[in-house]
Amino acid sequence: EKGGYDYFMLKEIAEQPKAVADTLLGRIDASGLLTLDEVRIPATVLREVDKIVIVACGTAFHAGMIAKYAIEHWTRIPCEVELASEFRYRDPILAPRTLVVAISQSGETMDTLMALRHAREQGSKVLAICNTNGSTIPRESDAVLYTHAGPEVAVASTKAFLTQVVACYLVALYLGQVRGTKWGDEILAVIRELSQISRQVEQVLETMEPVRELARSLKDKNTVLFLGRHVGYPVALEGALKLKELAYMHAEGFAAGELKHGPIALIEEDLPVVVVVPSPRGRSVLHDKIVSNIQEIRARGARTIVIAEEGDESVVPYADHLVRVPQTPTLLQPLVATVPLQVFACELATARGNEVDQPRNLAKSVTVE
């Protein structure tokens, strides 16, 4: 049932191109517009939405963090994203015009379920993004957009994450389409770009041997740091979470702009630091800032592991290890940049002799609060 792979996690990493393609399937019509009829919330209600609140836990929360950038950019609707376990207990402001998006692979995470129950009690509409048909979270929501990742068995979430990001983008683009924002042309272009992503994830998977080799060489390290900006920041957090849960290593993700506010004090000789570099095309200011962050940490002895777009030569002088990902618009980069981090964590876990599919102390779905 592992399809020839040693672990479910490896199989699920390899299934990502298909998972992404399946999640898009049937949701884009011939004219390049989205047809999300399954989102049963009527367009009239969606046009009235004045706030979006995303609730989720763990990896699904990181997908939600990425979604916030896309939703606010494409729809101009204010969007908050919050850990479900925090949201419920702080008396959040919810109203009938608030759309709550609950993201969950299993559909059974208790904190997320309690958050959505609370939201519905306050009269808000809840849209679930879920991978498990008929599970509790979609059953208790007003509408559901299923991610079509197929069953995810490994405790560490991989293909569910990529499809959650895709589903969130579909929701964002759909809201933009229904409400008609000034980004109409851009939305059409992004839908086209999204259709390329499956192939690009495949390309990334074909070039992972050096990442595996690098992971093995780091097996006796105690700490790995991850830096990113903009959507690269949640990618950094996701890379760190994967490493914690699988390799049992101290791993932390930071917003690169925060370095000087504390974390740079952690940098010491030969400390591995993974940096997610956004595209130099488009908003190049983001890119240039992170390149100077790489210079700063390298000057202090860090061993830099740089994830950067093909053709971005500016990072070459400062990268001890360079991992290339295909060219994508910045907002879509998490879909390709997360993949090497999954492979990295899986290989490190293996090298350290850990149980990849069943990490210690963890359960696939957390059904207690």
Q: Read out DSSP for 118-136?
A: HHHHTT-EEEEEESSTT-H
Regarding 106 and contact with ligand M6R (CB under 6 A), the answer is yes
What is the enclosing helix (H) or strand (E) of 336? Answer: helix 333-351
Sole binder of ligand M6R in the list 21, 52, 58, 116 (CB under 6 A): 58
In angstroms, the CA 356 to CA 9 distance is: 7
Comparison of 153 and 366: residue with beta carbon closer to ligand M6R: 366
Of the CA atoms within 13 Å of residue 257, those in its CB half-sphere come to: 10
In the complex, residue closest to ligand M6R by CB: 58
In angstroms, the CA 45 to CA 331 distance is: 27
Comparison of 85 and 177: residue with beta carbon closer to ligand M6R: 85
Please state the closest distance from residue 180 (CB atom) to ligand M6R, in A. Answer: 32
Within a 10 A sphere around the Cβ of 47, how many other Cβ atoms? 11
Regarding 304 and contact with ligand M6R (CB under 6 A), the answer is no
Regarding 135 and contact with ligand M6R (CB under 6 A), the answer is no
Task: Tally helices (H) and strands (E) across the chain.
Answer: 13, 10
Q: Which of 251, 277, 278 is nearest to 266 (CA)?
A: 251
Distances (CA, A) of 45 to 39, 53, 97: 11, 16, 8
| 58-66, 142-150, 211-219, 350-358 -> range binding ligand M6R (CB under 6 A) | 58-66
Angle subtended at Cα 211 by Cα 208 and Cα 213, rounded to the nearest 5 degrees: 110
Comparison of 112 and 200: residue with beta carbon closer to ligand M6R: 112
| 75-83, 103-111, 303-311, 319-327 -> range binding ligand M6R (CB under 6 A) | 103-111
Comparison of 59 and 98: residue with beta carbon closer to ligand M6R: 59
Please state the closest distance from residue 270 (CB atom) to ligand M6R, in A. Answer: 28
Let me know: does 101 contact 127? Beta carbons within 8 Å: yes
> Catalytic: 364?
yes
Type of residue at 115: A
Type of residue at 184: G
| 51-59, 263-271, 273-281, 341-349 -> range binding ligand M6R (CB under 6 A) | 51-59
Helix (H, G, I), strand (E, B) or coil at 171: helix
| 102-110, 169-177, 283-291, 310-318 -> range binding ligand M6R (CB under 6 A) | 102-110
Regarding 163 and contact with ligand M6R (CB under 6 A), the answer is no
Regarding 109 and contact with ligand M6R (CB under 6 A), the answer is yes
In angstroms, the CA 247 to CA 288 distance is: 32
**Bridge partners, 79 (sequence order):** 52
Sole binder of ligand M6R in the list 23, 59, 279, 333 (CB under 6 A): 59
In angstroms, the CA 366 to CA 368 distance is: 6
Comparison of 156 and 306: residue with beta carbon closer to ligand M6R: 156
Regarding 10 and contact with ligand M6R (CB under 6 A), the answer is no
Regarding 366 and contact with ligand M6R (CB under 6 A), the answer is yes
Active site residues: 364
Task: List contacts with ligand M6R (CB under 6 A).
Answer: 57-60, 104-106, 109, 112, 155-157, 241, 245, 365-366
